[in-house]
Structure 1
């Protein structure tokens, strides 16, 4: 006998169980077909989820994306359609991070502009999914052009959120410029929009915007997570810039937008190399905590167009509760990892033995390699940044689904990157494989 749970979530459950990857468009089409079948059989679909929501307080991994764009800025889809896609794909939290705006207040957008940005079917799919009564349209009072109201987060979130299953977090991509270069910082769990602060240099703009974010956090008494976006976008930021802004503790080690120069070029390091350059300075001469790495989508396109599509990168956060506060607290502790396809059952660092351990949640038929990466100190050096050598060295490489590395005492820190032999399901650069990145550990202040 068929369950009365909503068809879209049943399909999401099937997709997860069979390890199939469905596109945004395919999911929406399958939803409509399955709901039609259920309606024909006389079964009334309720708006709930296929799996039971988590109701206990056990520590577990939660999957989320903290960089996403909608029609509120330069994305090409309605925000509730985007959130519904992530929910159906098994994500537990999502932050819509439109440029210099929170999705709040009254906003109307011309249908012609929406279609030009998306495709001819975008409004029809929106109506099919949420119904004619939900989609509000009007003629523009001045021009007579047809418009649709963009729903704010506080209005549509109640259609999608469910305790222990899926939440949305208010956020913004604070998009600034300095020295002719983009300076973008995401701020997650904001109470109100933050205007770009500016600065005479890229480094100063980073510092000014971060200061305002931290002041916002304190003034509103809430956990806020700032992170630096795509430092190689426009080659705007250097490792020295990111090392110097000491109060910034997070940046994107992987961003799924194909235009962010993830691999670098002959004159600029790739992002992973930059990560170790930053932390060589931080954990060496500066004596401060290393910067931690997130993976994000930075999604803008949701209709099969070339560009930044959803589902390419995410974070897995270990927390007891699915709330913005508990998730951000866990990330500030470093209790999370970044992924572009590899799942970890566990990652831990034993302070007493100085051992980093990784346990991989393996897919059938896949093979895995874990590289332990460290920056080593030159024992004959005086200790300043220029004396550090062997930055980002692979100190050990192990095959299989478990791996351990015990620090020798010569490392400033150690981190692990796990690489599958499976190709990425939707690569953002050539020959991309599925990976997971743990946070740097073992550093001493």
Structure 2
């Protein structure tokens, strides 16, 4: 009987571990449906061919439905992009026209039309998304909604915080009414220095923000007088926990707009993504895992495992030949002042490390820094890194 019980338990544990796997995805990118510079089909093909499992194509204040024509910019890169599109999909698929000046207008394919070309069960998923793009005075306030079911118009407000809260409420209201899982996340707070950490601290119903965004104008690292994304993250985590709110999670995204010309001054694909450990490749399973913190964000570093048990965070890096790694553990003490929110608790050279939360510490998160230079980086000199989500005491 003992042997049978042991075998049954082993089978259950094996099945539980087998049921979950890592899925690579980008939750923020753009196409010709708003201010991106390529067709959705070409963008989906890029991500799928580069090993991604899911993409949220999140154009500004629009969903890919109905009739929309795009006038192709009269530049060599854009006209070559159109020709590549036409060569790949053919005259039967591509609906276009030319005027007397040889300008090209193309009817964009809807999500319902292009989705079947790419989706494969267990291999690739397209998630309908939107970047709700709002403003207060000269502040640009952008929030993504992943797995949106119908268009959400910008809600506006009388302050930066109120604009964000009104949009969060509209997103969460659609979730409740539709009974379909979806979630908001705050995009690039430092884009044109629009959103401060104090604007975000009072929010409720928000669990995610971008700790890394690949667009060259988002000021991920702050400057001499303004906070970078990681410091903002630590202040948010600390204040949310003190206010007894759910912890804030950090996403890495591309925010890609540019698919023809590559370089540091372009917002290109492939700069940042999330790795989600989920039961299956579906919007429901991915969102469940994201909201449970079962993911990490990365610009290239891959992890073998992340284990959270008894207030301990353990990380194991997937080794790449010739590359070295530093594993840093960051956190805040319960009574920390703002300048001491988010301090380096421990640093380990190697592929594995663990950190046990102390009684006076609120949380711990890990940052893994490699010696591998990032290809086409956000900023010259960047190395590939990864961030785990915080473990809370």
TM-score, length basis structure 2: 0.92
**SS of residue in 2 equivalent to 1:212:** helix
One of 235, 239, 242 as aligned partner of 1:281: 239
**Structure 2 spans left out of the alignment, 5+ residues:** 1-16
Alpha-carbon distance in 2 for matches of 1:242, 1:263 = 18
Contact kept, 8 Å, 1:376 with 1:389, in 2: the verdict is no
**SS of residue in 2 equivalent to 1:268:** coil
Does 2:300 align with 1:341?
A: yes
Q: Report runs of 4+ in structure 1 exceeding 2 Å deviation.
A: 115-120, 142-146, 387-390
**SS of residue in 1 equivalent to 2:331:** strand
**SS of residue in 2 equivalent to 1:359:** strand
**Against the structure 1 CA distance between its residues 145 and 368, is the aligned structure 2 distance closer, same or farther, given a 3 Å change threshold?**
closer
Q: CA deviation at 1:390?
A: 2.2
One of 198, 201, 214 as aligned partner of 2:156: 198
Equivalence for 2:13: none
Cα offsets for 1:350-375 (capped at 9, x unmatched): 03xx2100011111111000000011
One of 79, 91, 94 as aligned partner of 2:52: 91
**SS of residue in 2 equivalent to 1:67:** strand
Cα offsets for 1:236-269 (capped at 9, x unmatched): 1111222211211100000001110111112211
Alpha-carbon distance in 1 for matches of 2:76, 2:277 = 37
Q: CA deviation at 1:145?
A: 5.7
Equivalence for 1:12: none
5 Å matches for 1:20-39? none
Alpha-carbon distance in 1 for matches of 2:239, 2:137 = 24
Does 2:58 align with 1:58?
A: no
Cα offsets for 1:42-85 (capped at 9, x unmatched): xxxxxxxxxxxxxx972100000000000110011011100000
Does 2:33 align with 1:72?
A: yes
5 Å matches for 1:384-423? 387=337, 390-423=340-373
Alpha-carbon distance in 2 for matches of 1:255, 1:376 = 28
**Structure 1 spans left out of the alignment, 5+ residues:** 1-55, 379-384
Contact kept, 8 Å, 1:77 with 1:118, in 2: the verdict is no
Equivalence for 2:256: 299
**Against the structure 1 CA distance between its residues 374 and 154, is the aligned structure 2 distance closer, same or farther, given a 3 Å change threshold?**
same
5 Å matches for 1:421-432? 421-432=371-382
One of 176, 196, 220 as aligned partner of 1:262: 220
Equivalence for 1:438: 388
TM-score, length basis structure 1: 0.81
Does 2:169 align with 1:207?
A: no
Q: CA deviation at 1:110?
A: 2.2
One of 371, 380, 392 as aligned partner of 2:328: 371
Q: Aligned residues, how many?
A: 375
Alpha-carbon distance in 2 for matches of 1:70, 1:230 = 18
Equivalence for 2:272: 313
Of residues 91-100 and 301-310 in structure 1, the stretch that sits farther from structure 2 once superposed is 301-310
